[in-house]
Amino acid sequence: MSDIPTKGASPQYFDAAGEGSGLANKRASRRQFIKGVIASGTAISTAGLVFGGLGGCSADSPPVNVGGVERLLSLNVNGQIRRVDVLPQETLAMTIRYKLGLTGTKLGCDRGECGACTILVDGVPTYSCSMLTQSVRGRSITTIEGLEGQDGRLHPVQQAFIDELGPQCGFCTPGQIMSAVALLETNPNPTREQARVALSGNLCRCGAYDNYINGVMAAVGRV
Amino acid sequence: MAYDLIGKNFTPPDVRAKVTGKAKYAEDFRVDGMVFCRLLLSTIPHAKIKRIDVSKALAMEGVLGVLLPEDLVPLEDPLMPPVLTDEPKYIGEPIAAIAAVNETVAEDALEKIEIEYEPLPFVIDPLESLYPGGPAARTEGNVGNRANIELQTLHWTEEDFASVERGSMPKGKPAVEWSAGDLDAGFANAAYVVEETFVTGSNPHHSMEPRTAMAYWQNGKCHVYGSTQSQSMIVLGLAQYLGIEPADVVYVAEYCGGGFGSKATPYPIMAVPGLMSKKIGRPVMMRISRSEEYFLGSARHCLQGSVKLGFNADGRIAAADIYCLQANGPYFGFPDFLNSAQTLGACYSPLATRFRGVPVLTNTPPAGAQRGPGQNQFACILEPIMDRAAEELGLDRLAIRMINAPSDSTLLDARQSPMTSAYLADALQMAAAEFDWDNRKLRSRQRRGSKVTGIGIGSAMHTGGFYGFDGLVRILPDGKLYIHTGVGNLGTYSYAATSRIAAEILKYDWDDCVIVRGDSRKHLPWNSIQAGSNTSYTQSRTNYVAAMDAVAKLKEIAALDLGGAPDDYEIDGRRVFRRSNAAVGLSYGEAAQRAIDLAGKFSGQEGPEDVNALTKLALGGIAGTGLVGVAKDSADVGGMVATFTTGFIEIELDIETGRHEIKDYFAVCDAGTVIHPEVLAAQINSGAVMGFGMACTERAIYDPQNGLPGNTRLIQTRPPSGLDVPPSMTAFGVDKPDPSNPVGVKGMGEPPMGAGASALLSAISDALGGHVFNRTPVTPDMIVNAANGRLQSNGPLSVFTA
């Protein structure tokens, strides 16, 4: 029985990866996120999901941009440069889902507890609900949509998750897959225990952990 | 019986979209002009709203509209939860909604609403409400439930409460009572009698996808994109909340990010976007936050009660007496309290039973059905007591379960219904063999340092199927089979496995079949809710009768065109042909074209009288497109369909920290014929994982002084992570057919959770030398207290505690 690990709390995973603290330093810490929000002058609402941006949703937005001032950024998402207007307090999950139309990244808690929003930032699994979009300029972002080959060929982890019937309701699946992809890229030959630890920041309420880990192990050697 | 498809693994058609991120859940839909809404939630547990002024909010830039209780269609049943209320009955109950160009503006506008409450008495603890002059959760009464228990007032006498001083459950006048067999004689002649007072915790459903919804109006119809386990069954209730005809609802629920009972039926809050959209003329997205899920997302009912069991010397339960209260929440709730007797009856078949109970209204967020509602709570209480009885009587713990296992003559509930089949004894024997019970039990209570081995057994049951719904299949001129299913998609893939029954009957290759689902515009029949462990049973029946109807029509068309009688024809290889000469026949595609030409019943212009109005609507939509197989599954099944799971577990309990580690878990279910082995095993294992959380970590806390919730985050009532489960798990089915189902299958989703939870609690008690907690969850501090002989911090009757 352990508490829910945060993404930064998987030491075994890093040891296995042999990357040490260099990789860990790339990770977004909760403290950095909160500092960023304070710097932007916006407090986190107790209501959880609050989104001020309009882009992509409303064809007839009012002329005055209520809710904050957006700033144009260039983001590197799934190998493409995407230009997007971003609010100072906007999280990466919201930018990805509402402005870039990449809805495969899910919001389960919006508070860094469940892992449904896991994406890769420079190859490192990251809770995109807890990272400010402004902080990822110049970094390489990979979402679930970026795994599939242009010929429609699935990433080996995706295929293995089908073969082992990983998903049940499927809501946590993209996050589980992103964690698994990151693991296998840094540690191509993990033990089952290492896989469990690597995916332990992704909650699955259906409880399909056994099938997911079977999927990770089935992907070993295919990546 | 040898099948081509049934019993074989296959890849369900919706898995690929789940691993690519293309699966669209409610919050993934976008429409031009879409705006957002947020909810104003009550900040006190029970009050009348004296005044509400939204003028300042409405005047804000970017605010588009407000929805208030006065905008809603009044509900006739006072126990039905409303969409919005002017008499909030729990903290977090929605009072109003505001739509704005974005959520920040909507949230700011909520702050500008002026609201004046007149506080009313409230109650958190069911027993408190039953005291003479005790507080009532509703101005109209303090007792009620959807199980035909009308809103009423009930108080017990001071004398009834005398036992509370001793920490024992008081038993005043019940709201429900039934009995069967000679209870007094059973207890009088018993070799061992045990009576325990118990409390089971409430735990949130924790669906990973919050209950977000989006809606807009087009051509007079309300299009709703929601998160529900079920499909067709949602339309009626949603239409009622929207105040429109079911035919004017377009409902899309292709995927559901977890429901576990909380999204089986329409829930009031899903109507807000549609009602708001009607008012402001814009598409409205309502996102529900994780914190709000603790108010709106449902939870398991908390039970408070006592169980008295009398055992004969051989371990047979001669008499069982249950008294069970439930914290009902302020609305109709779910009859968990009644189901406590059901699980005892089904798993242990007592010779005599009495049940008494009261669903007491409480000012806690509405609780509802959660995976094994009532059955699973009671299994958690029962299994450690059975272990104690075995020890007292000098019996093996497996033996006492075998001697009480249900048989063909076991009767359940007040109605004393027989079961269509009950192979729990087989499941126990198979699991025991796989677990190596005889040897492994010798490890029980072995200690190494602070670690003690615990061995546990837990069984649970649920009803496993319904009947009376409709089936609808189509063969088109392209020769393919289109199976229309309105059951829903909660993630168990049973919608797909049961669709294969139609393919099996019509002798189709699975590659030539298409499942039509997920959107009411696709002409879906009247099907059951996807809940209650029923899909596999119920949908296999509906698909069977629809496929049989299609077979009959194929043969009829062949006879019309090629001569002879329908019985002269046979089907195979997508052809209908003469038995005597296979060369004489029609391909399915040709027969579908002929059905279109012949029209009438062959192509859906005419249908059976007894099918549901929703099915008739679907028929109208597909009439003339191909050969239509449609029928109501009307045959009585002759008893209650019951499904069972039993789990065997080995744990290591650290009695210094109170933490446990699960070393091994084996479970076997009796769900009739296994139609999809891979999914069956996944359901048994993953259900147990949910059970591990229910047993040890998850609980809802409410402050009795102010009614405040103590948990509004996952970490505060933690579901199991991947590190809380054993490294690998083993599961399979008894695979004995149920005689009342055409392919012998029963449902199976709920008992795996109760088996996992109760087996774990049985093992914890075992590691503590047979200590019985009579409470869930069993937390580390309770274990440390028990290991050191200290009193527990919670009283035996305390509810909603940390």
The span from the CA of A215 to the CA of A218, in Å, is 5
Query: In the numeric block, which tokens belong to residue A126?
Result: 């990251």
DSSP string, A60-89: T--SS-TT---EEEEEEETTEEEEEEE-TT
Q: What is the CATH number of domain B18-120+208-296?
A: 3.90.1170.50
| Longest CA span, chain A | 56
Which residue in chain A has the smallest CA separation from B229? A169
3-class secondary structure per residue, B299-348: ECCEEEEEEEEEECCCCCEEEEEEEEEEECCCCCCCCHHHHHHHHHHHHH
Distance to chain A for B531, nearest Cα, Å: 14
Query: In the numeric block, which tokens belong to residue B127?
Result: 């027993």
* pLDDT for res A58: 41
**Token pair 């309420």: residue:** A205
Handedness of CA B786, B789, B793, B796 (dihedral sign): positive
CB interface of B with A, residues 76-105, below 8 Å: 101-105
- B491 to A158: CB separation less than 8 angstroms, yes or no: no
The span from the CA of B307 to the CA of B350, in Å, is 13
Strand pairing category for B302-311 and B221-225: unpaired
B300 touches chain A (CB under 8 A): no
- Given 3-state DSSP classes, what are the helix, strand and coil percentages for chain B, each rounded to the nearest 5? 30, 25, 45
Please check whether residue B103 is in contact with residue A49, taking contact to mean a CB–CB distance below 8 angstroms: yes
Residue A205 has its nearest CB partner, among B14, B206, B729, at: B206
Q: Which residues of A touch B14 (CB under 8 A)?
A: 170
β-pair partners for B483: B473, B515
CB interface of A with B, residues 167-186, below 8 Å: 167-174, 177
Which residue in chain A has the smallest CA separation from B109? A67
Q: What mean pLDDT do residues A96-116 have?
A: 97
Which residue in chain B has the smallest CA separation from A158? B19
pLDDT greater than 90 at residue A34:
no
Report the Cα–Cα distance between both ends of chain A, in Å, rounded: 31
Could you tell me the pLDDT band of residue A223, with boundaries at 50, 70 and 90? Answer: confident
Please check whether residue B648 is in contact with residue B439, taking contact to mean a CB–CB distance below 8 angstroms: no
How many A/B residue pairs have CB atoms within 8 Å? 237
Please check whether residue B170 is in contact with residue B160, taking contact to mean a CB–CB distance below 8 angstroms: yes
CB interface of B with A, residues 21-50, below 8 Å: 21-25, 27-28, 30, 32-36, 38
Please check whether residue B225 is in contact with residue B252, taking contact to mean a CB–CB distance below 8 angstroms: yes
Q: Which residues of B touch A68 (CB under 8 A)?
A: 104
CB interface of B with A, residues 555-614, below 8 Å: none
Distance to chain A for B42, nearest Cα, Å: 13
CATH topology of domain B395-467+636-802: Aldehyde Oxidoreductase; domain 4 (3.30.365)
Strand pairing category for A80-86 and B302-311: unpaired
- B208 to A169: CB separation less than 8 angstroms, yes or no: yes
The span from the CA of B154 to the CA of B143, in Å, is 7
The span from the CA of B310 to the CA of B43, in Å, is 47
Strand pairing category for B513-516 and B451-463: unpaired
- CA distances (Å), origin B378, targets B156, B307, B344, B585, B776: 24, 10, 8, 58, 10
CB interface of B with A, residues 625-644, below 8 Å: none
The span from the CA of B234 to the CA of B241, in Å, is 11
Distance to chain B for A40, nearest Cα, Å: 15
The span from the CA of A130 to the CA of B657, in Å, is 32
A192 touches chain B (CB under 8 A): yes
What is the layout of strands, in order, in the sheet containing B284-286?
B63-67, B94-100, B35-41, B284-286, B213-218, B221-225, B249-252
Strand pairing category for B221-225 and B213-218: antiparallel
Question: Is the model more confident about B309 or about A32?
Answer: B309
**Token pair 């902080």: residue:** A135
Could you tell me which of B371, B597, B356, B365 has the C-alpha nearest to residue B490? B371
Consecutive 10-residue runs of chain B (802 residues): their mean pLDDT? Answer: 93 98 98 97 97 98 98 94 98 98 96 98 98 97 98 98 96 98 98 98 97 97 98 96 96 98 97 98 98 97 98 98 98 98 97 98 98 98 98 98 96 96 98 98 98 98 97 98 97 97 98 98 97 97 98 98 98 98 98 98 98 96 98 91 98 98 98 98 98 97 94 95 93 97 97 98 98 98 97 96 89
Please check whether residue B286 is in contact with residue B268, taking contact to mean a CB–CB distance below 8 angstroms: no
**Token pair 């293309």: residue:** B22
Please check whether residue B445 is in contact with residue B397, taking contact to mean a CB–CB distance below 8 angstroms: no
Q: Give the count of alpha carbons within 13 A of A190, CB side only.
A: 32
Could you tell me which of B313, B103, B276 has the C-alpha nearest to residue B191? B313
Distance to chain A for B467, nearest Cα, Å: 25
Q: Tell me what percent of the residues of chain A surpass a pLDDT of 90.
A: 67
Could you tell me which of B205, B207, B209, B206 has the C-alpha nearest to residue B23? B209
The span from the CA of B45 to the CA of B447, in Å, is 48
Q: Give the count of alpha carbons within 13 A of B288, CB side only.
A: 27
pLDDT greater than 60 at residue A46:
no
Distance to chain A for B442, nearest Cα, Å: 25
Which residue in chain B has the smallest CA separation from A59? B33
Q: Is the peptide bond before B777 cis (omega within 30 degrees of 0)?
A: yes
Q: How many Cβ atoms sit within 10 Å of the Cβ of residue B728?
A: 12
Query: In the numeric block, which tokens belong to residue B253?
Result: 């629920």
Please check whether residue B379 is in contact with residue B694, taking contact to mean a CB–CB distance below 8 angstroms: no
Distance to chain B for A47, nearest Cα, Å: 7
* pLDDT for res A55: 40
- A209 to B661: CB separation less than 8 angstroms, yes or no: no
- B722 to A59: CB separation less than 8 angstroms, yes or no: no
Helical axes B375-393 vs B397-404, angle rounded to 10°: 120
Please check whether residue B303 is in contact with residue B322, taking contact to mean a CB–CB distance below 8 angstroms: no
**Token pair 């500008």: residue:** B112
* pLDDT for res B597: 98
* pLDDT for res A65: 52
Which residue in chain A has the smallest CA separation from B690? A207
The span from the CA of B167 to the CA of B374, in Å, is 23
CATH topology of domain A11-55+69-219: Ubiquitin-like (UB roll) (3.10.20)
- B21 to A53: CB separation less than 8 angstroms, yes or no: no
- B690 to A205: CB separation less than 8 angstroms, yes or no: yes
CB interface of A with B, residues 39-78, below 8 Å: 45-54, 56-62, 64, 66-68
Query: In the numeric block, which tokens belong to residue B10?
Result: 């296959």
Query: Helix, strand or coil for residue B701?
Result: coil
Please check whether residue B453 is in contact with residue B762, taking contact to mean a CB–CB distance below 8 angstroms: no
Please check whether residue B131 is in contact with residue B156, taking contact to mean a CB–CB distance below 8 angstroms: yes
Q: What pLDDT digit, counting tens, does each position of A48-93 carry?
A: 445 555 443 444 444 445 556 889 999 999 999 999 999 999 999 9
Distance, C-alpha A86 to centroid of its chain: 18
- B62 to A62: CB separation less than 8 angstroms, yes or no: yes
Which architecture does CATH list for B121-203+299-368?
Answer: 2-Layer Sandwich (3.30)
- B686 to A208: CB separation less than 8 angstroms, yes or no: yes
- A109 to B35: CB separation less than 8 angstroms, yes or no: no
Could you tell me which of B580, B537, B541 has the C-alpha nearest to residue B558? B580
CATH topology of domain B471-632: Aldehyde Oxidoreductase; domain 4 (3.30.365)
* pLDDT for res A1: 32
Q: Is B101 exposed, middle or buried (0-12, 13-18, 19+ CB in 10 A)?
A: buried
> Domain limits of chain A?
11-55+69-219
β-pair partners for B96: B40
Distance to chain B for A32, nearest Cα, Å: 21
Please check whether residue A191 is in contact with residue A130, taking contact to mean a CB–CB distance below 8 angstroms: no
Distance, C-alpha B683 to centroid of its chain: 13
- B720 to A50: CB separation less than 8 angstroms, yes or no: no
What residues contact residue B755 under an 8 Å CB cut-off, 6+ apart? B379, B458, B459, B460, B645, B646, B647, B667, B684, B687, B688, B691
User: Which H or E run includes B766?
Assistant: helix B751-767
* pLDDT for res A150: 86
Chain region(s) in chain B for CATH 3.30.365.10? 121-203+299-368, 395-467+636-802, 471-632
Residue A17 region, left (φ>0) first, then alpha (ψ -120 to 50), else beta? Answer: alpha
A152 touches chain B (CB under 8 A): no
Q: Is A120 exposed, middle or buried (0-12, 13-18, 19+ CB in 10 A)?
A: buried
* pLDDT for res A52: 57
Query: In the numeric block, which tokens belong to residue B695?
Result: 């047993």
